[in-house]
Structure 1
């Protein structure tokens, strides 16, 4: 194994190459933390008051500047352009100014407006832009694909351009590969050709659409989005390629069936917890295979700060009733390094399983037959995860040495399972990395593995300096990072296990939504000292799976083809679960759209249309019977403007059906956002 050389000179070179980024990251973090904490205060206001409307608008303007800063910083990292860096710094500073003023006005109960430069906003295609920066949609768009794998790839590229514009594809034309990288792409492509050949045809369709429309995307550039261009990791945290990547804290899920649900049918809820990007929901109607739904976390397979994730996402389901619930708790890294190598990326494996497996048992058999794969890059890099149907569910935590497959009962579950970001199988401690520090771990019968003492840590320049200069070994960094991630995840495990037990026999899609409106708390006091207590001792408030960095919340009932998605948290003012995950989104609506998977896309579109009509009528009844002013009035007017275009679509044409379903699901969300001002959605309690 080629280890990266470390030392003071290497650190100086690293800092010189990345100095602007280290200046931008604290501004980014300060911006999003201050805005998130302001959002918690806004949530305490009367949502029907004029001041609530004003503060939400100001908060959203702050988020526009924050988004702009992230976009510009990402661009500057790629181009090394100083002017772009300065624009990024300026955007973050404007966001921080608005956040500071929000805190002052909220704390003093002032009704005055905040004075700042209002950001430019205009629409292009189906999304909003601020100047030339595309903003992340506040309602997750849907794409309908039908036909062969090649045709669906062609349609997917077409829909990305229709929704976002050419830039969504053109930004990937700038990526150039050397011969070693091209060779790696080919190796990964050969593995996917062998095990998931439909992905290769999908890529060919995508490339041909691009060429037909003047976008110079090569086969390798699109294939790279699906499989990557680097060899498999050969060390924990992939330390051989540069800075070790500390584990993320993100994502949660619960699935229940048989005796656990109100009617015995499978119901699922899951969240993606990360800095939200251009996520998209894909509904596939393949010529060969089973119709399915799946939500990748980013439309072209990458995420801010995380980088490439090869169409990682969740949850998904198919028309036979199989659900891919969640990645199953990660990072895990349980299989021995000697077994790591080339394999299949998670996104490709999920799409294959949902397309060709009818039951969870079939999916399990398939997954156990696939190569162990690229374990060291994390869950997104190889197969595994959490699948369920109406009779059975499993979570693969490790497929070899040790074999760790969670089924119901290990943690006291009866006909339900849950997962967050830690391993829970008792045998996991036999893995190479856990075994070396087994005296620091304890297994809990309700929450799985956790460090014996609360753990806190954040990735920062000081830590990187220690690693470069040899004062912090990679193994130590790995251990501390995993303990830090698992302590937080353990607390979310307790939350979901409690929800499964307390509401056993009554779980439904409605109760799943209630679970994800049941938020935790964060410590009171000066955030500087709150963060310090977390970093040093892992101290925090009540930790819930419903929190500020929920980038999406989904509730599913596969037996009815029901898939409901809320962009961002399902409730405003959800507390963060750590300082690092104090993340908010622009224009959070805290409301779901619903679609029903069927054999034909026209049926799915018609069901969405009928629901939209019903919700508009309900909103109009409220409007006519209530004294509506302030923000609810603006949202009602937005709803009426959306309604005007409902009859414009030809549902005999797939392209038109795509436009239609996005129109109808926007109406679902906006109507429910308005209705929720007067009919507060229910939640549970948790202490």
Structure 2
């Protein structure tokens, strides 16, 4: 017994030593992101007409590359505990931090010079993304994946296109896992739930494994199933806090808004959604299944996981189907209202989204399908069912599915044919959640902002100092709910003031309108925030936005922007999680239209690309070549023309192909045309908006 206790103590000490190493790495990462956001805010005061603009943006992008390299090696170090990887992570962070600090100093004094850093070796490695010194860089324009046919074929096509876009490395990292017998049994338990409720997903999983293997990346069925469900059993504690590491906190800010009926200019549904996290290797999937509705869905990660957050089970938002039903957002994670006695195996959120979009013809049907699913793994973000769906007649947010059933509809928070959700429970009955009831004196409810902490407790880098699981949960969610409360009130006021005028452009504009940035030094405003939770005027458009999408489903319209919709967007809080960046930020929405077949998708993407190239070229021809902005904008329009040419070449190649190769080349053409759209729109935005930095 004594030996056993001694061994446990030794394990704890070793674990603590490992954690301290990683803790220092997280501290450095946070410090680096703060340095970059300070520079970014200063850069936001410039535009193409400023002499220093192009030079400073290039330098800032070098900072983002170094930040990305640091995060890449930090993630590797977490898995390998390698000293070399940790050192490389620190090196990347230090370089990025220095670039941020130097840029801020340069821009604030508006004079002098800074040393531009040499851009690392940039290659494509026969993919559609870039690599900096062999480290993959997340794309600034969302790739499109097109699927068609039986479930198995769609899974096969998905794996093949993921490799075509990103390279084999992205699936190799998820292949060849040696699961224990216990883990296999857990995977089978999850599999049985899918088999009963959403069996079509298993066909896709089988096809994915085959498609990856045929492309040279041997993946087993269980390798792929793991990405959808995880090999861990359902959680037994709120947020799984008993077995989460102290660095783990829920994300600070996602958002979803929907308006229809009396709220919109034509009575038709329009929506806006943002996933607020570091942009990763994502995609918008357009599916034409053999049975059910055609649909679109934007996944945050093509392999179902995000750095440092781990497995998110293929989650993302939004999604939209051919019957006009839209999945807007998760509906306010984390809620965890259902009593623990009902928790267990069930359906993961992304699995349910794809099933609902495929088989629900109305938002009412979506609600009924969700209510019929098992309660599932409530204790983890995105672990189970319950989201925010709408059509042009009805919308709902499913905040709890049992004891009590809480279906939040328009009107509960004072809405009139609109709904919104962020990262908190809003319905008054959601206060019955067990974790909230145990500390109910610390929670208050607002008629437009929903649940929020009565007294704000500021950020702690190390929440392991909070001893009890209950207190950890309340502290963590207090941080998240405070920001959500502020954004909910702002969203209500914005939508309510525009009743009868809301349209698709209005939804885009909501993400272009930044909140106010508090005055004072970073230290001063951070101290105020940590004491009071106060941080200027809130907005759903902020520096944490990683992917933004707006939809008008009755017309099949779906537009996606990676990163911020406005250059120089301020953060929603002083926390590093509020500062997310993408290399070569575009601030521009690509445009898609859901059609009856893949050719319809291609025709629309091509038409929009051509329109923007023509308009951008026309506006550029009016600009004097001596203007500071001319060369930069000329480069963008040339890129757009080359992408358009590539799209036409993929179309021409298709005349000699058949089967899946035809679909793959069609998808490549669509991706080329959407990239052309974005680059040409950047020129249009710069020249038709005068000195404005907003986009269309």
TM-score range, shorter chain: over 0.9
SS class of match (2:124): strand
Equivalent position to 1:181, from 180, 183, 198 = 183
Paired position in structure 1 for 2:479: 484
The 5-angstrom pairing of residues 209-224 of structure 1 reads 209-224=211-226
Equivalent position to 2:266, from 263, 267, 288 = 263
Q: Deviations over 1:355-398 (max 9, x none)?
A: 011001101111111100000012x1101110001100000011
- The CA deviation at 1:38 is 0.7
Partner Cα distance (1:417, 1:624) in 2: 44
Q: Deviations over 1:213-268 (max 9, x none)?
A: 33121111110000110010001121332436433222101101111111111100
Paired position in structure 1 for 2:105: 104
Paired position in structure 2 for 1:405: 407
Q: Deviations over 1:449-503 (max 9, x none)?
A: 1222344324x23x32x24xxxx21111111212221111000101111111011
Equivalent position to 1:680, from 668, 689, 695 = 689
Partner Cα distance (1:394, 1:6) in 2: 52
SS class of match (2:69): helix
Paired position in structure 2 for 1:138: 140
Equivalent position to 1:568, from 563, 566, 573 = 563
- The CA deviation at 1:49 is 2.2
The 5-angstrom pairing of residues 225-236 of structure 1 reads 225-236=227-238
Q: Is the 8 A contact 2:647 2:670 kept in 1?
A: no
Partner Cα distance (1:683, 1:338) in 2: 54
Q: Deviations over 1:421-469 (max 9, x none)?
A: 11111111122122222222221111111222344324x23x32x24xx
- The CA deviation at 1:113 is 4.1
Q: Is the 8 A contact 1:48 1:630 kept in 2?
A: no
Equivalent position to 1:240, from 239, 242, 247 = 242
Q: Is the 8 A contact 2:176 2:220 kept in 1?
A: no
Q: Is the 8 A contact 2:613 2:637 kept in 1?
A: no
- The CA deviation at 1:353 is 0.2
Partner Cα distance (1:619, 1:683) in 2: 16
Paired position in structure 1 for 2:582: 585
Partner Cα distance (1:683, 1:257) in 2: 30
Partner Cα distance (1:682, 1:516) in 2: 19
Paired position in structure 2 for 1:664: 673
Does residue 356 (structure 1) correspond to residue 359 (structure 2)? The answer is yes
| Pair 1:632–1:220, CA change in 2 (3 A) | same
Partner Cα distance (1:243, 1:315) in 2: 29
Equivalent position to 2:255, from 252, 255, 266 = 252
| Pair 1:477–1:159, CA change in 2 (3 A) | same
Does residue 294 (structure 1) correspond to residue 303 (structure 2)? The answer is no
Partner Cα distance (1:286, 1:387) in 2: 21
RMSD of aligned Cα (Å): 2.0
Partner Cα distance (2:15, 2:579) in 1: 28
Q: Deviations over 1:507-545 (max 9, x none)?
A: 111111011101102222222332233233312111110
Paired position in structure 2 for 1:552: 547
Q: Where in structure 2 are there 5+ consecutive unaligned residues?
A: 1-5, 656-661
- The CA deviation at 1:419 is 0.4
Q: Deviations over 1:551-602 (max 9, x none)?
A: 1111100000000011111101111011221222211110111010011010
- The CA deviation at 1:549 is 1.2
Q: Is the 8 A contact 1:514 1:684 kept in 2?
A: no
The 5-angstrom pairing of residues 506-525 of structure 1 reads 506-525=501-520
